[in-house]
């Protein structure tokens, strides 16, 4: 194709849009924080059954579901009622979401609305060419211990999400306890800022061409056989490739279970300045291979910016995770920590 017609084709055919869709109260609030932090090229949605909550939310699009049956008053924790309610809007929503390349579906598990819609929509979109990435906030343990309805909703939704395989971003509210001296709203903002980094770095990886490119097709191809997968994110000084990998694995708010017995698949992308050497890149990749015991399948990409940078960033998709029993997944996590700078 000649360059003129190539440009015309690209502008007509390359969909470069991404969506972040908040489902229920927690999902909508998180999406609103993402919008406030700014993610160019990403459209935000808030979908809820609770009109009063939705009215307070800022998003590019807001959708009230199930007015006929739920009267805008929320789901009262009833997942079944939400699933009946969505039938009215399902086709329209599906059509709109299928216009995106990647759609992040965000919900806090435990309530009725988000816990019903997250697995439902994720499963619906799996058959399309849009990559749907579920983002689930796992509830605080005190909620699970004291509220059987929340517990059942969270367990069911999480089990359904893990069974689907694919990329699942499960953020642990329990891991936020290291920030417990901060006001609650601020703690949730810390978590949402972390989610913002996850979304931004994944979008950046597939959206901006690199020297060794990881495009959207490679990401989808990688995910197809990767089983249950998660995202790792790290930022370190260029002199510290080994620490970069260690940090990505340990200082995370994501909750996942690396199966030590099994060799997973890894897609790793390193982003750095013009001073990033081949030696540094190799040390990062060696550290990844060593840590994951020679992954069965490894793919990597890299991008260097025109100016020198002291910091490099690793974005990695790790597959072959163990599906936990839901009970295990909602158990309080052991080590926690986060030192990745959080946008204030």
Ligand X SMILES: Nc1nc2c(ncn2[C@@H]2O[C@H](COP(=O)(O)OP(=O)(O)O)[C@@H](O)[C@H]2O)c(=O)[nH]1
Which of 199, 312 has the CB closer to ligand X? 199
CA 222 to mean position of chain CA atoms: 16
Shortest reach from residue 332's CB to Mg ion, in Å: 24
Buried b (16+ CB within 10 A) or exposed e, 173-199: bbbbeebeeeeeeebbbbbbbbbbbbb
**How many other C-beta atoms lie within 10 A of the C-beta of residue 327?**
10
Shortest reach from residue 191's CB to Mg ion, in Å: 17
Which of 71, 163 has the CB closer to Mg ion? 71
* Residue 150 interaction partner, one of Mg ion, ligand X, none, beta carbon < 5-8 Å per kind: ligand X
Stretch that binds Mg ion, among 109-117, 218-226, 298-306, 313-321 (CB under 5 A): 109-117
* Contact with Mg ion (CB under 5 A) among 25, 108, 241, 320: 25
Instruction: Give alpha helix (H) positions in the chain.
Output: 3-13, 24-37, 51-55, 67-70, 79-86, 90-97, 113-125, 141-146, 148-163, 184-207, 216-224, 241-250, 278-291, 326-329
* Residue 300 interaction partner, one of ligand X, Mg ion, none, beta carbon < 5-8 Å per kind: none
Give contact residues for ligand X (rule: CB under 6 A): 24-26, 29-30, 75, 107-108, 110-114, 137, 139-140, 143, 150, 173, 188
Q: How far apart are CA 287 and CA 237, in angstroms?
A: 15
Shortest reach from residue 25's CB to Mg ion, in Å: 3
319 touches Mg ion by CB under 5 A: no
Nearest-CB residue for ligand X: 111
166 touches Mg ion by CB under 5 A: no
Question: 44 to 63, contacts with Mg ion by CB under 5 A?
Answer: none
Stretch that binds Mg ion, among 18-26, 77-85, 187-195, 196-204 (CB under 5 A): 18-26
Q: How far apart are CA 231 and CA 313, in angstroms?
A: 13
* Residue 137 interaction partner, one of ligand X, Mg ion, none, beta carbon < 5-8 Å per kind: ligand X
Question: In terms of Cα–Cα distance, which of 48, 45, 27 is closest to 188?
Answer: 27
**How many other C-beta atoms lie within 10 A of the C-beta of residue 114?**
32
* Residue 272 interaction partner, one of ligand X, Mg ion, none, beta carbon < 5-8 Å per kind: none
Cα–Cα–Cα angle for 228, 321, 118, nearest 5°? 35
Strands 169-172, 131-138: pairing is parallel
Shortest reach from residue 11's CB to ligand X, in Å: 38
Shortest reach from residue 25's CB to ligand X, in Å: 3
Q: How far apart are CA 290 and CA 287, in angstroms?
A: 5
**Residue 99 in contact with residue 15, Cβ under 8 Å?**
yes
* Residue 75 interaction partner, one of ligand X, Mg ion, none, beta carbon < 5-8 Å per kind: ligand X
Strands 265-272, 228-237: pairing is unpaired
Which of 78, 162 has the CB closer to ligand X? 78
77 touches Mg ion by CB under 5 A: no
Residues that bind Mg ion (CB under 5 A): 25, 111
């Amino acid at each position: 194709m000649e360059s003129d017609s190539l440009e015309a084709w690209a502008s007509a055919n390359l969909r470069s849009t991404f969506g972040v869709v908040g489902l229920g109260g927690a999902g909508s609030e998180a999406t609103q924080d993402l919008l406030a932090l700014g993610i160019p090229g990403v459209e935000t949605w808030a979908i809820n059954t609770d009109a009063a909550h939705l009215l307070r939310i800022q998003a590019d699009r807001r959708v009230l579901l199930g007015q006929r049956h739920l009267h805008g008053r929320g789901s009262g924790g009833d997942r079944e009622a939400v699933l009946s309610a969505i039938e009215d809007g399902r086709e329209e929503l599906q059509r709109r979401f299928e216009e995106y390349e990647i759609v992040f579906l965000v919900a806090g598990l435990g309530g009725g609305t988000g816990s019903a819609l997250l697995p439902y929509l994720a499963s619906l979109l799996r058959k399309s060419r849009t990559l749907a990435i579920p983002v689930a906030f796992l509830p605080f343990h005190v909620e699970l211990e004291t509220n059987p309805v929340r517990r059942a909703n969270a367990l069911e939704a999480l089990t359904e999400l893990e069974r689907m395989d694919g990329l699942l971003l499960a953020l642990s509210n329990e891991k936020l306890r290291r920030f417990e001296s901060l006001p609650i709203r601020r703690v949730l903002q810390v978590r949402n800022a972390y989610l913002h980094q996850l979304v931004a770095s994944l979008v950046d990886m597939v959206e901006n061409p690199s020297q060794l490119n990881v495009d959207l097709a490679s990401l989808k191809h990688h995910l197809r056989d990767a089983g249950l997968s998660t995202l790792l994110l790290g930022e370190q000084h260029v002199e510290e490739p080994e620490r970069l990998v260690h940090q990505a694995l340990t200082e995370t708010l994501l909750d996942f279970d690396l199966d030590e017995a099994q060799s997973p698949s890894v897609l790793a992308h390193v982003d750095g300045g013009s001073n990033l050497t081949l030696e540094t890149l190799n040390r990062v990749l060696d550290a990844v291979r060593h840590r994951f015991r020679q992954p069965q399948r490894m793919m990597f990409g890299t991008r260097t910016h025109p100016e020198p940078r002291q910091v490099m960033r690793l974005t990695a998709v790790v597959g072959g995770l163990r599906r936990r029993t839901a009970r295990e997944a909602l158990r309080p996590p052991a080590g926690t920590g986060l030192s990745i700078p959080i946008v204030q």
